[in-house]
Structure 1
Amino acid sequence: MVRLVTLSCVALLLTPWAALGQEGRVQRGRVFAQTNCAQCHAIGRFGDSPIPEAPPFRTLHLRYPVDDLAEAFAEGITTGHPTMPQFQLDPAQINDLIAYLRSVQR
């Protein structure tokens, strides 16, 4: 019983840290998107993409399951709109960008 109470207390104490960690990922993903993607894509919840062929990030889930984009980010995106540069992300950048993409989906 004492162990169960202890584990419950630890879980309650760690929950805010997990939420803060997720918020940090979202923020880092937003910075990455602003730096690398915003010149072509609308990266927020509103607005049009500067390049019409570049889909707004908030609608990516209509084209692709957002979580499935992690593999494309790891291997290097070679498709997309005609002017999209090829780039490859490291695992931390992938987690951050996926967290951000999830946060802006409508």
Structure 2
Amino acid sequence: MQRPVFCALLVTLSLSVPSLAASTPEQRGRAYAKTHCARCHAIGRTGESAFKPAPPFRTLHLRYPIETLGEALAEGIVTGHPAMPQFELTPPEINDLLSYLKSLE
């Protein structure tokens, strides 16, 4: 592919597809939380959790130092209530979600 055509293709793709590379870890963490956690947890600065046993994200720092949650997110969180699914995040997802949680403190 010729260089001008390749560059034009990259520009077109960058304008038509939201670029994760251009977003901040906090923004990506919020997007992850919205997609994977908001069904049960309140993920914003206000509001109640849809599932009462699920703590609002803005209060997690009152229960746990946010920095210590990375290992649990990597290994799969197992919680005291059976409704929460067990899941594992990739290192970039962990960084992004922790960045978002820190922004809520």
TM-score range, shorter chain: 0.7 to 0.9
Q: Say whether residues 1:57 and 2:60 are aligned partners.
A: no
1:79 corresponds to:
79
Amino acid at match of 2:57: F
Residue 82 of structure 1, CA deviation: 2.7
**Given the two structures, how large is their TM-score scaled by the length of structure 2?**
0.76
- Rounded to whole Å, the distance in 2 between the matches of 1:48 and 1:95 is 25
- Rounded to whole Å, the distance in 2 between the matches of 1:67 and 1:74 is 13
CA RMSD of aligned residues (A): 1.4
- Rounded to whole Å, the distance in 2 between the matches of 1:87 and 1:36 is 10
2:38 corresponds to:
38
Residue 80 of structure 1, CA deviation: 4.5
The secondary structure found in structure 2 opposite 1:52 is: coil
2:92 corresponds to:
92
Amino acid at match of 1:57: F
Q: Percent of counterpart pairs with the same letter?
A: 62
- Rounded to whole Å, the distance in 2 between the matches of 1:46 and 1:58 is 8
Aligned structure 1 segments of 4 or more residues deviating by more than 4 angstroms: none
**Given the two structures, how large is their TM-score scaled by the length of structure 1?**
0.75
Residue 71 of structure 1, CA deviation: 0.5
Residue 78 of structure 1, CA deviation: 1.4
Task: Identify if the C-alpha distance between structure 1 residues 41 and 80 changes in structure 2 by more than 3 Å, giving closer, same or farther.
Answer: farther
Q: What are the Cα deviations for residues 12-60 of structure 1, in whole angstroms up to 9, with x where unaligned?
A: xxxxxxxxx9x61000000000000000000000000000100000000
How many residue pairs were aligned?
A: 84
Gaps spanning 5+ residues in structure 1: where? 1-20
Gaps spanning 5+ residues in structure 2: where? 1-20
